[in-house]
Amino acid sequence: MNLINEKYLGSQNREALIDLEIPVDFNQNIIVFIHGYMGFKDWGPWSLMQSYFVKRGFGFCKFNLTHNGTTPENPIDFIDLEAFGNNCYTYEKNDLSCALDWLKEKINVSVCTFHLLGHSRGGGIALLCAQDQRISSVITLASISSIEKRFDFEKETIKKWKKTGTRYVRNGRTNQDLPHNFSQYLDFQKNKKMLSIQTMCKSISKPLLFIHGVEDESVSIEEGKDLARWSKKQLVKISGASHTFGGFHPYTSKTLPPHLKECCILITKFIKKQQLEKVNLTGN
């Protein structure tokens, strides 16, 4: 099965694109990938990452968040700035749940094991959804450890944002000034407890794998250390790796960046270890 650019219905009844590939030699494990801030499912080497896992028997699902600025008609450019401006963390959390619902319609989920894989902000969303009963484990790449830190502004900045209703952040790749409506801040304040990654990490009993680049220029490795400390799990540090583990967009090479490939190897071992432990536990 190889479904490309299918549609799922997510937050605010918005449609977004989703992919699912299941290999012939399927090992019953499906990796569900969540992209990060200013990202999308077809960014850089993410499709190569998908191919890496599919060739090794894993199913792989990746999707666009509904308010990431893309549209089903234009899935790689930020053309829907109204949606981008209205985005909030609760929408992204709900999108992941909707994507899992979509998977349930396409395959027999009762025989599958699901693993969340989130990059950057997507890692935070994956952790916030870890208690979903459909999820067996969570893997993060350069994940944020706090949503509150994303709003760590001076009081005057908050006041100005509230007054104008919108603040803008420059996208270094596209040179766009992308809008962030004050409603995002209000949504966080309203749902602060539910959006606490720290609280969630302390309560997760499922297998977790944290991977972070030592040279991450966007999300400090200190945030990775926070995640590991709160959950009492190990942080795997990739020496010399950037925030995107060597990836960029557009990515024209036919091979994975070395640091991202190193991540894929770690993830494969992590999931296979779970399989082995499950077999030993059941005695099958």
pLDDT in tens, 2-16: 999 999 999 999 999
pLDDT over threshold 90, residue 21? yes
What integer is the mean pLDDT of 226-231?
98
Quote the pTM value.
Answer: 0.96
- The three state secondary structure string of the chain is CEEEEEEEECHHHCEEEEEEECCCCCCCEEEEEECCCCCCCCCCCHHHHHHHHHCCCCEEEEECCCCCCCCCCCCCCCCCHHHHHHCCHHHHHHHHHHHHHHHHHHCCHHHCEEEEEEECHHHHHHHHCCCCCCEEEEEEECCCCCCHHHHCCCHHHHHHHHHHCEEEEEECCCCEEEEEEHHHHHHHHHCCCCCCHHHHHHHCCCCEEEEEECCCCCCCHHHHHHHHHHHCCCEEEECCCCCCCCCCCCCCCCCCCHHHHHHHHHHHHHHHHHHHHHHHHHCC
> Which domains are delineated in the chain?
2-150+196-282 (3.40.50.1820)
Mean pLDDT (the chain, rounded): 96
pLDDT in tens, 139-188: 999 999 999 999 999 999 999 999 999 999 999 999 999 999 999 999 99
Of all residues in the chain, what percent carry a pLDDT higher than 70? 98
